[in-house]
A = this chain, B = another copy of it.
Amino acid sequence: MRLLQDKIRREGTVLSPSILKVDTFLNHGIDPLLMREIGREFASRFAGGGITKVLTIESSGIAPAMMTALELGVPLIFARKRKSLTLRDDVFTEKIYSYTKEEENEVTVARKLLLPGDTVLIVDDFLANGEAASGMARIAGQAGARIAGFGIVIEKSFQSGRRRLEEEGFRIEALARIRSLENGAVTFLEEPSGPLF
């Protein structure tokens, strides 16, 4: 998605060979028009997939997932992160490990929100090693819901997340696929060509 790649080139900051800061338009400051285009793009790529719910995880996934759900005309669920383990039988719970924050979190979704008949599109801002994505897939699995696929805004293609999800048979649509962040520069796997959109 050319618009997104351009935005990453212009405003993204490479903090290390594995960390890209996009806090002016995606995960702290948010560009609503870009989010709308992202929502339209995911809705278009997954059109006809019979999606009944969009699932994401707080907080950075909410804006793109919200616009995707709006375009698809289906409800959004954002999984809650929490540190402490209080057993509750009204929620699905999975553990996910954050390599960036070096901490394990639980993610939970209320059982009443995800049902066996649901077909779920999982949306997130980043795909790195696939921890969060996998956790959301396991939650959908617990609910007995079908997973239509993953809509990822930025994929760090040099990390293992896509391979891990593809090995589980999932479809992944990533709007910007980053080949490398070496030497302080962003290079994409698929360089944009042709006119904008």
Instruction: Decide yes or no: A29 and B113 within 8 Å by CB, A59-B59, A59-B62 being known contacts.
Output: yes
Secondary structure class of chain A's binding surface, majority of residues: mixed
A110-146 vs B, CB cutoff 8 Å, 1 = contact: the mask equals: 1011000000000000000000000000000000000
A6: Cβ under 8 A from any B Cβ: no
Residue in B63, B77, B80 whose beta carbon sits within 8 Å of that of A76 in the complex? B63
* Pairwise interchain contact A62-B66, C-beta atoms closer than 8 A: yes
> Is residue A165 contacting chain B, with contact meaning CB distance below 8 A?
no
Q: Which of A143-173 contact B (CB under 8 A)?
A: none
Within 8 A of B (CB), among A16-57: 23-25, 28-33, 35-36
Q: Which of B23, B32, B80 contacts A28 (CB 8 A)?
A: B80
Judging by beta carbons under 8 Å apart, are A75 and B31 in contact? yes
Number of copies: 2
Is A69 close to B, CB under 8 A? Answer: yes
Interface membership of chain A positions 63-92, coded 1 if the CB is closer than 8 angstroms to chain B and 0 otherwise = 100110110011111101000000000000
Closest B residue to A36 using CB positions: B70
Residues of B within 8 A of A59 (CB): 58-59, 62, 78, 80
Q: How far is the CB of A110 from chain B (nearest CB, A)?
A: 6
CA distance A192 to B91 in the complex (A): 34
- Least CB distance, A21 to chain B, in whole angstroms: 10
Contact A24 B62, beta carbon cutoff 8 Å: no
Nearest CB of chain B from residue A120's CB, rounded to whole Å: 13
Question: Which 9 pairs across A and B sit closest by C-beta, in order of nearness?
Answer: A58-B59, A32-B70, A30-B76, A59-B59, A62-B62, A32-B69, A29-B113, A63-B66, A29-B77
